[in-house]
């Protein structure tokens, strides 16, 4: 099977690329590198010892997407490309609708034209909003609180309509909980530009001394230690969930939705504690007020993915924190570490 991975140089896309190649698939990456680095593609090649075709492409452009499909004729698409920061989406909602909806529409048009019938889409637990009962199941009501979340919900609706009109397609939306960790080699990982929006890179940068302290948003939630609870899932487990979904999609049709998480909730303080154990470093933190829109508790019911896809997360919280820390230590400035070294040797 040949799989087009949009956003394949990004955090989850790069890990999925490695797992797909190791599972015997041929892959093609398309990315505009707005939030990623060519070094990630180079590292995917070195981990897998495989030549990976890669297009520098803005997927909102119809001619660009058409050209990729005409050249590559993929059997399946995993669509990761898009913008993903909640705070930024409040400041720049139009950019979020433009990139996220725009690229999805072009991909769907090209899939129709080139008779490509198997799509896996990156959705998010953010579509459940803050009020759902936990552990949350896929049939819970959707309720979004920001433009980013609304793009995810709108795209799911777009996919449902598309599947209804073209029953020969198989479209699978995967709702990720909180991916953290990195490839065990330490060669690929999460590489935020500027101040990290996600907690794991923030913590590892504090542990490494790049940032002074972690801000914990609220310790007055109704949880055991008062901090928010999330379902952290190792990015390699998440990547394997895509392989399960794409393989299943090759043999069926319709529209399907799955939660991808571990099914366990971990508080922010428990996460900090685990990072302290694996790194042996102090992780100073300050408690600041809650952020509007943050849920107190969020964790998945993963029984549907287990039953229908045969997928279950296997790696522990310790594995996640150890691999994030390994990535941070080997790449103190992320992928820029490699570029800095190359400049110095010249």
Ligand X SMILES: NC(=O)c1ccc[n+]([C@@H]2O[C@H](COP(=O)([O-])OP(=O)(O)OC[C@H]3O[C@@H](n4cnc5c(N)ncnc54)[C@H](O)[C@@H]3O)[C@@H](O)[C@H]2O)c1
Q: Shortest Cβ distance from residue 117 to ligand X (Å)?
A: 21
Catalytic residue among 121, 148, 176, 255: 148
Among 3, 10, 189, 256, indicate the residue that binds ligand X (CB under 6 A): 10
> Taking contact as CB under 6 A, which single stretch among the options 51-59, 131-139, 208-216, 322-330 is the one that binds ligand X?
51-59
State how far the Cα of 209 lies from the Cα of 207, in Å rounded to an integer: 5
Catalytic (active site) residue 213: no
State how far the Cα of 254 lies from the Cα of 235, in Å rounded to an integer: 26
Q: Does residue 19 interact with ligand X by CB under 6 A?
A: no
Tokens 């890990």 sit on residue = 15
> Taking contact as CB under 6 A, which single stretch among the options 11-19, 200-208, 249-257, 326-334 is the one that binds ligand X?
11-19
> Taking contact as CB under 6 A, which single stretch among the options 79-87, 261-269, 284-292, 301-309 is the one that binds ligand X?
79-87
Q: Does residue 99 interact with ligand X by CB under 6 A?
A: yes
Q: Does residue 106 interact with ligand X by CB under 6 A?
A: no
Nearer to ligand X, 14 or 346 (CB): 14
DSSP 10-23: SHHHHHHHHHHHHT
Among 65, 75, 86, 103, indicate the residue that binds ligand X (CB under 6 A): 103
- Residue 227 parent element (H or E): none
**What residues numbered 124-163 form the site for ligand X, per CB under 6 A?**
124
**Residue 262 CB coordination number (10 Å):** 23
State how far the Cα of 63 lies from the Cα of 221, in Å rounded to an integer: 49
Q: Does residue 206 interact with ligand X by CB under 6 A?
A: no
Beta strands 229-230; 266-267: pairing state: antiparallel
Q: Does residue 267 interact with ligand X by CB under 6 A?
A: no
Q: Does residue 232 interact with ligand X by CB under 6 A?
A: no
Mapped to the 3 state alphabet, what secondary structure does 61-101 carry?
Answer: CHHHHHHHHHHHCCCEEEECCCCCCHHHHHHCHHHHHHHHH
Q: Does residue 279 interact with ligand X by CB under 6 A?
A: no
> Taking contact as CB under 6 A, which single stretch among the options 68-76, 77-85, 243-251, 324-332 is the one that binds ligand X?
77-85
Instruction: Give the tokens for residue 318.
Output: 């310790």
Q: Shortest Cβ distance from residue 122 to ligand X (Å)?
A: 3
Contact of 140 with 148, CB cutoff 8 Å: no
Nearer to ligand X, 3 or 81 (CB): 81
Contact of 165 with 114, CB cutoff 8 Å: no
Nearer to ligand X, 21 or 40 (CB): 40
Nearer to ligand X, 25 or 107 (CB): 107
State how far the Cα of 224 lies from the Cα of 229, in Å rounded to an integer: 10
Contact of 134 with 298, CB cutoff 8 Å: yes
Q: Shortest Cβ distance from residue 345 to ligand X (Å)?
A: 26
**Residue 319 CB coordination number (10 Å):** 16
Q: Does residue 58 interact with ligand X by CB under 6 A?
A: yes
Tokens 């707005």 sit on residue = 34
The set of catalytic residues is: 148
Residues forming contacts to ligand X in the complex (CB under 6 A) are: 7, 9-13, 31-36, 57-60, 80-84, 99, 103, 122, 124, 176, 179, 198
């Amino acid at each position: 099977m040949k799989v087009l991975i949009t956003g394949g140089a990004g955090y989850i896309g790069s890990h999925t690329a490695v797992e797909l190649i190791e599972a015997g698939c041929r892959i093609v990456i398309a990315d505009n590198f707005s939030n990623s680095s060519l070094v990630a593609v180079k590292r995917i090649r070195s981990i897998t010892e495989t030549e990976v075709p890669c297009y520098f492409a803005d997927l909102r452009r119809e001619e660009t997407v058409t050209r990729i499909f005409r050249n590559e004729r993929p059997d399946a698409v995993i669509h990761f490309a898009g913008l993903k920061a909640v705070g930024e989406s409040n400041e720049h909602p139009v950019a979020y609708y433009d990139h996220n909806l725009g690229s999805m529409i072009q991909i769907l048009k090209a899939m129709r034209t080139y008779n490509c019938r198997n799509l896996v889409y990156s959705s998010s637990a953010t579509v459940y909003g803050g009020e759902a009962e936990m552990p949350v199941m896929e049939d819970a009501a959707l309720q979004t609180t920001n433009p980013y979340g609304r793009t995810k919900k709108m795209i799911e609706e777009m996919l449902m309509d598309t599947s209804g009109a073209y029953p020969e397609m198989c479209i699978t939306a995967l709702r990720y909980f909180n991916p953290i960790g990195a490839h065990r080699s330490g060669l690929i990982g999460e590489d935020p530009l500027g101040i990290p929006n996600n907690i794991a890179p923030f913590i590892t940068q504090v542990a490494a001394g790049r940032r002074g302290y972690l801000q914990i948003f609220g310790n007055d939630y109704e949880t055991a230690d008062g901090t928010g609870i999330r379902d952290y899932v190792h990015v390699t487990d998440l990547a394997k969930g895509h392989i399960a979904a794409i393989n299943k999609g090759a043999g069926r049709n319709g529209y399907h939705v799955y939660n991808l998480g571990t099914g366990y909730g971990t508080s922010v303080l428990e996460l900090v504690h685990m990072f302290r154990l694996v790194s042996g470093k102090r992780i100073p933190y300050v408690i600041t007020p809650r952020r509007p829109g943050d849920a107190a508790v969020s964790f998945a019911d993963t029984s549907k993915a287990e039953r229908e896809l045969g997928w279950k997360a296997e790696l522990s919280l310790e594995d996640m924190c150890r691999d994030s820390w390994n990535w941070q230590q080997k790449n103190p400035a992320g992928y820029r570490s490699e570029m800095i070294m190359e400049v110095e040797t010249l």
